[in-house]
C-alpha cells in the first residue's frame, strides 16, 4: 500500500509598519527547553485527533494530538505594547479595541488591548488606580457599563474572583484582575403570569485583565473566555497574561 503524506501549514497574518507578528516555531532541531510553546489543549482538538486516529489516519491523528500549537508574539511599536497569543486565533478589525483576536471556533473566546488616550491621561504608575482591590472594583464597574443592556428582563450577576500585582522581568508593576459575569434573561418578559416568564442563563464568562502603565497611558490586556472552557485552558491563558508588556515609545 502506498504511503500517504499530509502537509500541515498556516497562513501568515498581514504585517504593517507599526504592527508586526513574530511567529514562534517548534521543530525537531529545537531543544524542548528552548521555546515556551505548550499545548493549547481544547476539547475540539482532542475530538478531532480522536476521530482521525480511530477512523482515518492513525499515524497522522496521533501526530496532531501530540503536536504543541504555536504561540505568536504581537508587537505594537506605535502604541507601545506586546503579548503572545495562540497562533490559530484570527485578528478581527473594527472591533473597537486597539487590537482584537478571537478563537476561530469558540467565538466567545477572545483577547483585546485597550490604551487610554494620551491627551487625557497622565498615569505615572498602575498604582495610580489604588491597590489591586480598588483597581478590580473599577474594572468590574467598567465591564458592567460596557455590557449594559436596554432589553427588558436582562439581569447581570458579577463577582470579583481575584486581584493581584506582580513585577515582571521588565521591572514594571502590573495588576491582574479576574472577574466572572453571568447574564440572565426572561424568555417572555411581557407575559402576564409569572410562570410564563422563565429566566434562562444567556452566557457565563470569565474576564482576565492585565493592567500596566507606560508613556503616561494605562494599558489593559483583556481575555474573555466562557466559564465552562476556562478550566481546560487556564494554564495557557495565564501564559498569555504573563507575556503582556508595556514598552516605551521611541519617537
* pLDDT at residue 57, as a whole number: 46
Helix/strand/coil for 135: helix
* pLDDT at residue 196, as a whole number: 65
Local mean pLDDT, 10-residue blocks, the chain (251 residues): 46 44 44 39 49 47 52 96 97 91 95 93 95 97 90 89 98 98 81 69 97 98 97 94 96 77
Is 225 buried (19+), middle (13-18) or exposed (0-12) by CB count in 10 A? buried
**Buried (b) or exposed (e) across 32-46, using 16+ Cβ within 10 A?**
eeeeebeebebeebe
In the chain, where are the structural domains located? 19-246
Identify the CATH class of 19-246: alpha beta
Amino acid at each position: 500500500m502506498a504511503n500517504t503524506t499530509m502537509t500541515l501549514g498556516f497562513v501568515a497574518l498581514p504585517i504593517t509598519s507599526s504592527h508586526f507578528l513574530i511567529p514562534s516555531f517548534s521543530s525537531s532541531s529545537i531543544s524542548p527547553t528552548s521555546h515556551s510553546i505548550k499545548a493549547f489543549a481544547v476539547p475540539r482538538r482532542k475530538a478531532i485527533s480522536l476521530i482521525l486516529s480511530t477512523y482515518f489516519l492513525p499515524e497522522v491523528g496521533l501526530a496532531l494530538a501530540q503536536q504543541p500549537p504555536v504561540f505568536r508574539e504581537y508587537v505594537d511599536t506605535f502604541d507601545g505594547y506586546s503579548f503572545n497569543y495562540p497562533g490559530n486565533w484570527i485578528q478581527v478589525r473594527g472591533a473597537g479595541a486597539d487590537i482584537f483576536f478571537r478563537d476561530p471556533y469558540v467565538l466567545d473566546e477572545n483577547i483585546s488591548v485597550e490604551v487610554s488616550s494620551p491627551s487625557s491621561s497622565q498615569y505615572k504608575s498602575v498604582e495610580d488606580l489604588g491597590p489591586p482591590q480598588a483597581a478590580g472594583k473599577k474594572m468590574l464597574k467598567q465591564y458592567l457599563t460596557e455590557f449594559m443592556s436596554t432589553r427588558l428582563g436582562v439581569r447581570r450577576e458579577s463577582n470579583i474572583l481575584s486581584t493581584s500585582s506582580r513585577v515582571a522581568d521588565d521591572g514594571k508593576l502590573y495588576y491582574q484582575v479576574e472577574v466572572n459575569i453571568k447574564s440572565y434573561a426572561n424568555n417572555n418578559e411581557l407575559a402576564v403570569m409569572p410562570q410564563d416568564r422563565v429566566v434562562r442563563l444567556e452566557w457565563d464568562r470569565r474576564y482576565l485583565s492585565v493592567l500596566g502603565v507606560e508613556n503616561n497611558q494605562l494599558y489593559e490586556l483583556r481575555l474573555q473566555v466562557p466559564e465552562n472552557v476556562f478550566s481546560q485552558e487556564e494554564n495557557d491563558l495565564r501564559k498569555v497574561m504573563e507575556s503582556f508588556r508595556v514598552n516605551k515609545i521611541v519617537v
